A and B are shown apart, each in its own frame.
Chain A
């Protein structure tokens, strides 16, 4: 029953997010492809009844678009993870409905699991929407198809899950969405900047090396794109699971 209620609450938002993400992806695709002399490409096809062969210029376009999608995807994942984690639960616990929710006969963990599932699904859809919006354009300009964009998605999802989990947990603990968001943003910023600070001021490299290893999930610097790294993927997956576990433990012991 709680799933139905969670869906009722999020329905409109999810649809809007999907539409927004798809539109943004398509705008990206359109924008990037438009300066790739689309007209010339079409003329070649009409003349030779075949797609042009590997073309350096086209290749750059293709990879630029890929990178753009993935880079913006990373930012989207960060923003979506943080905000969805805070808002999917913040409302109940701030609004005083806990007395009601926690006296329904059913395991408490179901409430957290349901919230998590709906929120996480929304986030995955939002991030993927971006990629799928740009996908038609990627497929059209290059015979290789969507290439590494699709391969890059699982990495984004798992990172998003970890950020979502963080934000969900901090919101549960802090008791309201704004406070939860502040805590999770603070955690993320600390994660990014503390290791560098430690290296600069105390010449302590270890933490920086560790976090940089985890941030390889963002790694598309080389060309062609780097192969999929399972260990980093596993790290973020474990982090996401850890936060889920923390939220479940918290609700089990929570007093209202």
Chain B
């Protein structure tokens, strides 16, 4: 599993890691039940502090994206069944806001933005 983090961007490293794990799952590179590398190895590979990776893993687990097995090992969880739709939408709102702001700046019509979103979802759709 190959991630890439940029330590001089404004985005905290743990968020970058979380984002890339989610992206990998969405793109089908990581399937349900696949193992993630242990914190130590991922940190060494990325040359970042293990606490950063640990934080990312904790957040991902809290969101139900991954789960840790008591004996050790971290795996991609089954798609989050326990969350209400309203909760899921609430999670997406900040990203949606950002998309809205950018589209506004670029003076794009809502219809164009929706089409863009649908294209992206179609690209992922077949791999669920």
A/B: CB atoms within 8 Å of each other: no
- A-side residues, CB < 8 A to B, are none
- B-side residues, CB < 8 A to A, are none
